[in-house]
Structure 1
Amino acid sequence: MMTRRAFSAAAAVAAACVAAPALRAQGRLEKTKLAIAVGGKAAFYYLPLTISEQLGYFKAEGLDVEISDFAGGAKSLQALMGGSADVVAGAYEHTINMQSKNQSIQSIVLMGRAPQIAVGVSTKTMPGFKTMAELRGKKVGVSAPGSSTNMVANLVLSRAGIKASEVSIVGVGTAAGALTALRSGQVDVMSNTDPVMTMLEQKGDVKIISDTRTLKGTQEVFGGPMPAACFYTHADFVKSHPNTCQALANAIVHGLKWLQTAGPSDIIKTVPESYLLGDRALYLASFNKVREAIGVDGMLPDDGAKTALRALASFEPSIKPEKIDLTRTYTNDFARRAKDKYKA
């Protein structure tokens, strides 16, 4: 009997054979070897990237990708701006942030329909927590300063009337280091993704005070749909590499399609062992919690872009909504074609 891994490998080879004529029809790839930067690859936030990589979907599209993992999204954005990465798997709101600094960055395919970020207070250093005002002066753990975990923390603080300058932001990553930082008392508050937040929550280490791991929770926090992880790159790269961008979108939408029917055991067999952080059951509990937040067809909703702009402008004085052209921050052209190709 064929093992699932052997079957996946055979399926990837078969997909590559099937994809070859389609690629010729689509046009030659302008660039086949790509450097992709990501901040916290083991987080569920980037699960579609890992799935598409592990199941050979990038190779099936004719791409040879090298993925570099950084501590957080702000660092992977730096890699793109510094020229060491061609594309970033990162939070959509960076495209808006960069436009406010006169840099044209564009999302080409969406992986996440909700940020999947929860904010919790430490039950060890803040055992009697009652009101948000108590967060003033505290140490807040985020994946990396300037990342989307930092943005959600800023939003929660600003709604409580607390300025970002009134807390200390500490970069703790999105894996074992984040668990240690909170449990050892290095931080009082944690704004992070799963599986980290579910692990802290289930062991009673945090009390959750804000949650965007579900579509309902995201609606409550942001007042609308909030696009999360996407592939983004320089607008010039999108113009000069349309076939390469199409191949990237195809690979991700193929992964999203697989995720729609995958069971928890399929996920466990596909992701690297290190992603489980030593607790398979908790990893699966986390997956079930964020499942609906994962994208389905790679399309970024227009009202989602508006929600992101509204959220950023609410605590970031440098972002003036009237000066931002949202149509330049994303395109659904590649996702639309990929959706048709894979019937996602």
Structure 2
Amino acid sequence: MRRLATAAVGISLGMCLFASRVDASERVTIMVGGIDKIIYLPAVLAKRYFEKQGLDVDVVTESAGVNAEDEMIAGGVQGVVGFYDHTIDLQAKGIEVESLVQFSDVPGEVMLVSKNAAATITSPADFKGQALGVTSLGSSTDFLTEYLASQAGLDHDDYRLKAVDAGTTFINAMRENRIAAGMTTEPTASRLISSAEARVLIDMRTADGTRSALGALYPTSCLYMPSSWVNAHRREAALLVRGFVMALRYLHTHSAEQIVAMLPRSYYAGIDKALYVKALKAYLPWFSADGTMPADGPKTVLRVMSTIRPQVKKANIDLKKTYTDMFVNEAAKQ
């Protein structure tokens, strides 16, 4: 795993110091399913807020959310910044985790088709017989790709899913024709679109695009943690959420140019800075302003997951146990 060094996040946010601080608490490790993805930008900004509160938080990264999930289940990390759908998938497997703060109610994902396959793939129905790229098998890009294919009448055996991560590995897989299409996020999407190496087939970076693809808004990026850990560390959980809420507020009160100016160059390596700013500017409105769960969001995610996962469909999923707004509501009062 790659560590997000404190020095790399030396961000001049001009933040106020929170009144309450945690007393010499144990170190909390949060793993992000791709720290350089724009959809997970709050995890970068929140690091400084954690420090201001006296929280000892280590932010580390893995290329895919499912890898981060595995680390959490194994006890290697206490929390994951990934997609909310994993809380439902895990409950169906008998593992209770909950989302504590929502970053967005749109996936921020794009289904891209390579320029070489553009003439043959014009809808998900054309996925038949094709190799499709996802970050990792069992990841949220896997879930969403399977759902889109199922809505087009395809069975899982009609296409092949390939784990190609994101960033350069995804781009190379498309350039080398190892995948004909694939689901990815920013800034990977903009790199391929700007170079005309791929075109957008399905765009879930906006509310309208998400509703068109999934039938409703779809809560995605969030911080989720084992319910047992949250129950035993209420104070730390509250301060973690407060840090993320402050990061979300920052995103809504500063321009894309201001935000990018304080990020390490590595966060947009391989992409023109102006293009990164453009991608961030387009996505900024879709970050949550307060971190709360949208009212019908969990039902929508359960519907999607039940369509593609028989285990979820058979399980008696208690959605109230997959998320809580208690901590974000407390943060709003601070």
Assess same fold via TM > 0.5. yes
> Which residue number in structure 2 is paired with residue 188 of structure 1?
180
Between the aligned partners of 2:63 and 2:170, the Cα distance in structure 1 is 11
In structure 2, C-alpha distance between the alignment counterparts of 1:162 and 1:273, rounded to whole Å:
42
Question: Within 5 A, what are the aligned runs for 1:71-90?
Answer: 71-90=63-82
Contact 1:310/1:321, CA 8 A, preserved across alignment: no
- Structure 2: how far apart are the matches of 1:36 and 1:244? 13
CA spacing shift, 1:320–1:8, aligned 2, 3 Å: same
- In the alignment, the residues of structure 1 paired with residue 213 and residue 160 of structure 2 have an alpha-carbon distance, to the nearest angstrom, of 22
The equivalent position to 1:34 in structure 2, one of 11, 20, 28, is: 28
**CA–CA distance in 2 between the matches of 1:164 and 1:130?**
19
Which structure carries more helix by proportion? 1
Aligned position for 1:222:
214
Question: Aligned partners of 2:152, 2:23: CA distance in 1, in Å?
Answer: 49
The residue aligned with 1:22 is 20
Three-state SS of the structure 1 residue aligned to 2:169 is: helix
Counterpart for residue 324 of structure 1: 317
Closer, same or farther: CA 311–84 of 1 in aligned 2, 3 Å? same
Query: Partners of 1:193 and 1:244 in 2: how far apart?
Result: 30
Cα distance per residue 1:103-140 (max 9 Å; x no partner): 11111111122110110111124434334332112111
What TM-score comes out, normalization by structure 2 length?
Answer: 0.92
| Gap runs ≥5 in structure 2 | 1-8
- Residue equivalent to 2:130: 138
Q: Secondary structure at the match of 1:170?
A: strand
Q: For residues 10-32 of structure 1, give each alpha carbon's deviation from its aligned partner in whole angstroms, at most 9, with x where no partner exists.
A: x35xx33xx2x423xxxx55844
Which residue of 1 is the match for residue 160 of structure 2? 168
Percent of aligned pairs with the same amino acid? 28
Match of 1:315 among 305, 308, 312: 308
For residue 165 of structure 1, report the CA deviation from its aligned partner: 2.8
Contact 1:29 1:243 in 2 (8 A): no
Label 1:183 to 1:60 Cα distance change in 2 as closer, same or farther (>3 A). same
Tell me the CA shift for residue 316 of structure 1: 1.5
**What is the SS of the residue equivalent to 2:312?**
coil
Match of 2:235 in 1: 243
1:22 maps to amino acid: S
TM normalised by structure 1 equals: 0.89
Structure 1 residue 124 corresponds to structure 2 residue 116? yes
Q: Which residue of 1 aligns with 2:297?
A: 304
Amino acid at match of 1:121: V
1:242–1:39 Cα change, 3 Å = same
Residue type at the aligned position of 1:280? K
State the number of aligned residues.
325
Choose from 26, 38, 48 the match for 2:42.
48
Secondary structure of 2:12's counterpart equals helix
Counterpart of 2:76 in 1: which secondary structure? coil
Deviation at 1:7, TM superposition (A): 8.7
Letter in 1 for 2:20: A
* Structure 1 gap ranges (5+): none
Output the amino acid matched with 1:207.
R
SS at match of 2:311: coil
CA distance in 1, matches of 2:33, 2:143: 15
Question: What residue identity is the alignment partner of 2:231?
Answer: K
Residue 12 of structure 2, aligned match among 8, 18, 21:
8
Query: Could you say which residue in structure 1 is the equivalent of 2:4?
Result: none
Q: Are 1:263 and 2:255 counterparts? A: yes
What aligned pairs does 1:58-69 form with structure 2 within 5 A after superposition?
58-69=50-61
Tell me how far 1:175 sits from its aligned partner.
1.6
Q: Report the alpha carbon displacement of residue 181 of structure 1 after superposing the two structures with TM.
A: 1.4
**Deviation per CA, 1:183-231, whole angstroms, max 9, x where unpaired?**
2212111101111112212222222221110011111122222111111
CA contact (8 A) 2:134 2:163 kept: yes
Q: Letter of the aligned partner of 2:42 in structure 1?
A: P
Higher alpha-carbon deviation: 304-313 or 159-168: 159-168
How far off its partner does 1:334 sit? 0.3
- Determine the C-alpha separation between the residues in 2 that align with 1:296 and 1:233: 21
SS of residue matched to 1:339: helix
Q: CA deviation at 1:88?
A: 0.6
Runs of 4+ in 1 over 6 A off after TM superposition: none
Alpha-carbon distance between aligned partners in 2 of 1:297 and 1:197, rounded to the nearest angstrom: 27
Residue in structure 2 matching 1:100, options 86, 92, 107: 92
AA aligned to 1:138 is Q
Cα separation, 2, equivalents of 1:277 and 1:224: 33
2:5 maps to none
Task: Write the letter of the residue equivalent to 2:280.
Answer: F
Q: Separation in 1 of the partners of 2:198 and 2:107? A: 19
SS at 1:302 equivalent:
coil
Distance 2:300 2:252 in 1: 25
